[in-house]
Structures are given as structure tokens and as C-alpha cells.
Structure 1
């Protein structure tokens, strides 16, 4: 490539000692020649910082380490961006991996046009075994307008929004603002729709791959605090208003109704007020009250006892 604009990779890091070396190595191996890494250590209590410092000593590319007290992922991501000098920005979790041509392919796509965002392919893997990564072709694997990219697969909800998949021009972030520091849970659900909708087009770069560690949570409603659940509610509220302001249609209402239904289930019974407000959102969007989808033995129990008591019993069982 004759023109190599600087790409800044912003990494919030908290207790990522098990993964941070591999994440940095995947960036160092990039075929694209003009990259800087900004890592904000958000008060880690493990040896993440020591591992990062060792990488800095041996790396041929710029790695800037910023240490701060623990203030949350959004705050750390914003600090990283404010220190970044690149024309293009990628937010990367401290345990993500990207393939060697990832940055080169996304820059090439963006350099051909203006005011667009590149979106790569996400491949999930489990048990630290990248060789068993899963590929699921999605409906938005195409060049699309932002609203179509978000809504096209309306049976499953908004399009995948894993942060490392996107390469974003700084000029777009200057218009939209940064991560909402009042949010902690599903903060990406608020951030990325806001950013994507400021672009003219989302450019799909299929061979720019992100390898995303994934696992199974037994029950979000028992793991998450009330504060976290309030964050999820606010992220949903903000994104609902944003999307409906651009397209108030059957498909947008169905997509948003699906998300409110998912979180209504998690809100109950820990945050009864949020559950009631979520139910009101579902009624407004779809014309129907919230009704959870149970399967297997839970479906049988819910038929006998009702879904609310079934949910309470499941939550109690997980706590034991």
C-alpha cells in the first residue's frame, strides 16, 4: 500500500495476564506497517503490567502503556483513544486475537471511500483452542447501510457488535463521542449503534478475522449486580430511541422487542421495577406482553408453576 495511515489499537486491560501476551503478539504480526498500540491498565491486580512491559521491551512497534486506578472498561477505552494519534481506531479487548492481514484489509477497504466503517468476521472459540473456532455466516456479511447492517437479521436481533471487528475513522468518533462512562453492562450495545449510524456505509471485510474467546454463563441475573442490570436497561433505552428515530418499522420494533424480552427475563425478580419498565417497552414495540421462551424440563415446570416461579426456583438452585 502506497499510503499507510496510522492505525491506533486501543486496549483496555484488567487482570488479563492469561491472554494479553497472545493479544499483543497478534497485533505485532500484522502485515500492515503503521500501527500503534495504546494499552490502559485499569488497576489490574495480577501481573498484566509486567507482561506488557516485557512486550514493550522487545516489540518493533509503538506500545504505550497507561496505568490508572480501576475505573471501568468505558473509562479506560476513552483514555486510550485520547492518547491515540491514528487516523483509524480499533478498540480491542485484552483477550481478543486478530489474523495477520486483518488491519491491512480493513485499511485498504476504507481508503477507497469516505465516512465508512469496516466490519470484519468474528469467529468464536472455547477453552483457549483457536483451532476449534466457529464460523456462522450472518445475514449482514455484506456492504450495507448502517441501519440495514443493524436490522437485516431481524429474527436474531441487532448485528454482531464485537468491538475488535470494527475499524473506525477518527473523524466519525469525533462526531459521535466516545464510550458512555455511566454504563458498565452491554455498553457496546449503546456505543456501536451510535457510531455505526454516523457512517454512510458498513464495509464487510470477510478475511479480516477476530478470534473471540467465549464461554457459557449459567445465569446472568444471579451473577450481575443491580448496578449492572441498571446499566443494561439504560443501554437498551438509549439504543431503542436512537434506532426508532432513524427507522420506526415492523422490523426495527421486532429486533428491539427481542432485546427487551431477553433482558426482561434477567431483570426479574432482582430488579422488579426494571422488569415492569421493560415489559412496557415490549408492549409498546410489539403489542404483546413479555413471555419467556423455556425449553426442556424448564418448559414443563413453567407450564405447571408459571414462568415467574420457575425463574425464582432456577435462580435459587444456581445460588446453592
Structure 2
């Protein structure tokens, strides 16, 4: 949950600054617009007000029934050549993946950003991210945190996102869940040329796309907010039943499982393919399908038996399932930890049994214990730090 802070902010105040970058690469900002007429001007103006001037705004209206298309065309008339507006054939409503894909096809910059019509950019987002990508050619995606705002633009707090640059490899972390918020991302067009566009059969198509890109490119995190995420009564991605969210997660993992041989790159490595199976096992278990979960774990051990030897990683993964995943109840996560360790204990290959040292499963159980109580200690220390900060502030 975002920290509860309240302050008024002007999302697009001030005139654009002169760009401080040497290059002049075009950045395509693709806005997928659907029934957000009150918020669309803020989204568009936040792009036009970027401190980096070489930006094109490509708006695709997804069959809006309010005045969104009229608003978008008004900006296209005021900024000809810089703001472009498109619709699906017959003004059809085709969903976010198809709308995002059409926007990519209608854009031409070597760098690409997506933006929902109810969100916005901070003024220097594009400048900072272009500078980073130009300095780090090995990176395919760069992202950062966002400020959370309400319908009127009041800042409520910040999104807490996982810093994948701290990971040895971003791919296993992305397989766990979608750490990247779409409006905070900038990627190279060459990534899309290599791995393809969003899968229009998936609701969580952006997550699946990030996974495909992370299989071939590095993912980088920039500290400091780069976008505004708006919470309002007509958000389409919130308040979905847990069962629906579970099924959408399963759709992504099944799709990655099927595509892995074609995607290649990091998904060709046995460890990552085994992790896909373990994620499927967790999702099946929480969906009350232990038989499918057992088959998925068996498949994981068949692909990479040594996955059980990386007990520190497994312990962290299992603890994160209990601590971070909001889709499932904590009791389900706790039950899965016990079920997983019991099942894995019964299926440790004989060659992996240790003599004179702890079995891998006992190592895992020990690491789980340390991870669980280590988290509690870290939380207590953090609360102590916050209390000291409050006391110091009160004395000033």
C-alpha cells in the first residue's frame, strides 16, 4: 500500500526546458485511450511538457463512448505532426493489448513508452530514461516508481516497486510477478522487433511482454518517481475478483511455458524453465487443484533436479509468496510452503541426498526459518527508525 501522504501537485506546470541531452533520438509515447475524457488532457500535456523535446504522441482510441476521441483530435489539430490520433476499424473496442500494438505500429521512434489515458508522466521522465538507455546499450527496459494520485491530482503516496537491478538476473524475479508498471517503462524498439508485440489473447499482456524481453535484455531501475498512477472510481485494473486475477496469472504462466522454446534466451536455461513450473504449481495449489500442482512440481524437478539445491533462492521465493502476493490469502501461502516442502522431501532424487551435511530440504526449512524471523527483525528495526525520525522531527 502506498504511504498515506497528502499534498497538492501540479502535474504539468511550467514550460518545457531545453533538453540537456546530446542525442536527438525520437521517443514515441503511445497513449491507449478509453473513456477517460476528464483525465486525457493531463496525460497528453504531461508528454508535451517533457524536458526532452523529441517526442511524438500517438493516441489510439479504443472505442470510447465519452468525448475522449474528440479531446484527442483537438490536441492533434493544435499540435499537427506531433500528436497523432488513430482508432480501430469501425471505432471498435478491442482491449488494451490490441490498442497498444496498433500504437506501436503507428509510431516510429527508437525508444517507446506506453501511457494509459488516466495516468501521466513527471516532466523529466523521458529525458532521464533516454539518457540512461543511451549510456547503457545492454539494457532493454528501464523503469522506476510512480507517485499515486487521486482523481483530483492529490498525491496519496508512492508505489513500492521491486528494484530488479539488485537481482543477478531480472528474469526469475519477473516470473514471480509483474514488478513493472506500464507507465513507468521505457524500452528500445529493437526489443519489440526481437520478441514481438503484446499477446492479444492475454489480459496481463504487458507482464508477459516484459518476461519475453527480460529473457534477452537487461532490465534497469531508476530511483525517483517517473510517472503518476491515478486511483479513481473507473480504474479497469482494480477490484477484480481474486479468482479472475488467479486465472489471468495462470494464463500468463501457461503462455510462457508454451512459448519458452521459441523465446529462447534466458528461458532456455533449465533453472528458469523449472521456475515457470514452480510458479504454476503455486497458482494451481491456491486455485484448489493440488493434482495439477503436484504434476507441475514433478515437471520442475525433471527439468532441473538441482533447483532444490538453491535453497536460499527457494526460501526467499516461498517467503515472498506469503509476504508479497496479495492475490491469495496468507493461509493459502502458508499451506503451500508446508505442502511444497513435504512434496519435495518425498521426491528428492537419491543422488542429491547428502551424507555428513544437511539434506537440501532441511537446508530449505532452515533458510525458511531464518527468512521468516529475519523479516520480522527487519520490520521491527524499520519501525524503530521511523519512531526515531518522528521524535527528531518533534524536537525541531
Same fold, TM exceeding 0.5?
A: yes
Cα distance change, pair 278–36 in 1 and its aligned pair in 2 (3 A): farther
Q: Which residue of 2 aligns with 1:140?
A: 164
1:260 Cα deviation from its structure 2 partner: 5.4
User: How far apart, in 2, do the equivalents of 1:233 and 1:165 lie?
Assistant: 25
Secondary structure of the residue aligned to 1:92 is strand
Give 1:259 shift: 6.3
Q: Distance in 2 between matches of 1:256 and 1:134?
A: 33
Q: Deviations over 1:47-68 (max 9, x none)?
A: 1111212222334871110012
8 Å CA contact 2:43–2:120 kept in 1: the answer is yes
Q: Which has the larger radius of gyration?
A: 2
- Structure 1 residues 39 and 261: CA distance shift in structure 2, 3 A: same
Q: 1:54 aligns with which of 65, 69, 74?
A: 74
What is the rounded CA distance, in whole Å, between the counterparts of 1:219 and 1:279 in structure 2?
Answer: 25
Q: Where does 1:99-110 land on structure 2 (aligned, <5 Å)?
A: 99-110=122-133
Contact 2:178 2:207 in 1 (8 A): no
Matched, 1:194 2:183: no
Give, in angstroms, the shift of residue 76 of structure 1: 1.3
Partner of 1:233: 250
Q: SS at the partner of 2:187?
A: strand
SS for the counterpart of 2:158 is coil
Instruction: Tell me which of 40, 59, 63 is aligned to 1:20.
Output: 40
Match of 2:296 among 252, 256, 281: 281
Q: Note if contact 1:96-1:212 (Cα within 8 Å) is conserved in structure 2.
A: yes
Do structure 1's residue 204 and structure 2's residue 188 form an aligned pair? no
1:73 aligned residue (76, 87, 96): 96
Q: What is the CA–CA distance in structure 2 between the aligned matches of 1:62 and 1:260, rounded to whole Å?
A: 48
Report how many residues are paired.
278
Find the aligned partners of 2:213 and 2:183 in 1 and give their Cα distance.
14
User: What SS does structure 1 have at the residue aligned with 2:254?
Assistant: helix
Cα 1:152/1:186, change in 2 over 3 Å:
closer
Q: Which residue of 1 aligns with 2:282?
A: 261
**TM-aligned CA distance change 1:283 to 1:130, over 3 Å:** farther
Measured in 2, the distance between the counterparts of 1:139 and 1:161 equals 10
Query: Displacement, 1:256?
Result: 6.2
Which residue of the partner structure matches residue 217 of structure 1? Answer: 239
Q: Secondary structure at the match of 1:207?
A: coil
The structural deviation recorded for 1:285 is 4.3
Q: CA contact under 8 A between 1:105 and 1:208: conserved in structure 2? A: no
In 2: Cα distance, 1:206 partner to 1:60 partner: 34
Distance 1:205 1:114, change over 3 A: same
**Distance in 1 between the 2:138 and 2:132 partners?**
11
How far 1:89 moved relative to its partner?
A: 1.1
Match of 2:187 in 1: 168
How far apart, CA to CA, are the structure 2 residues paired with 1:30 and 1:24? 10
Quickly say closer, same or farther: Cα 1:167–1:284, change in 2 above 3 A.
same
Question: 1:93–1:164: 8 Å Cα contact kept in structure 2?
Answer: yes
Gaps of 5+ in 1: 303-320
| CA displacement 1:177-198 (0-9 Å, x = unmatched) | 1111222x21122111112322
Distance 1:254 1:85 in 2: 36
Task: Tell me which residue corresponds to 1:151.
Answer: 172
Q: Distance in 2 between the 1:164 and 1:29 partners?
A: 16
Does 1 or 2 have the higher relative contact order (CA < 8 Å, sep 6+)?
Answer: 1
TM-score (norm 1): 0.72
Q: How does 1:105-116 map to 2 (within 5 A)?
A: 105-116=128-139
| Cα distance in 1, alignment partners of residues 154 and 293 from structure 2 | 37
Kept in 1, the 8 Å contact 2:216–2:266? The answer is: no
Runs of 5+ consecutive residues of structure 2 not aligned to the other structure: 1-20, 302-307, 309-321, 336-396
Displacement of 1:207 in angstroms is 3.4
1:318 matched residue in structure 2: none
Residue 161 of structure 1: how far off its partner (Å): 2.3
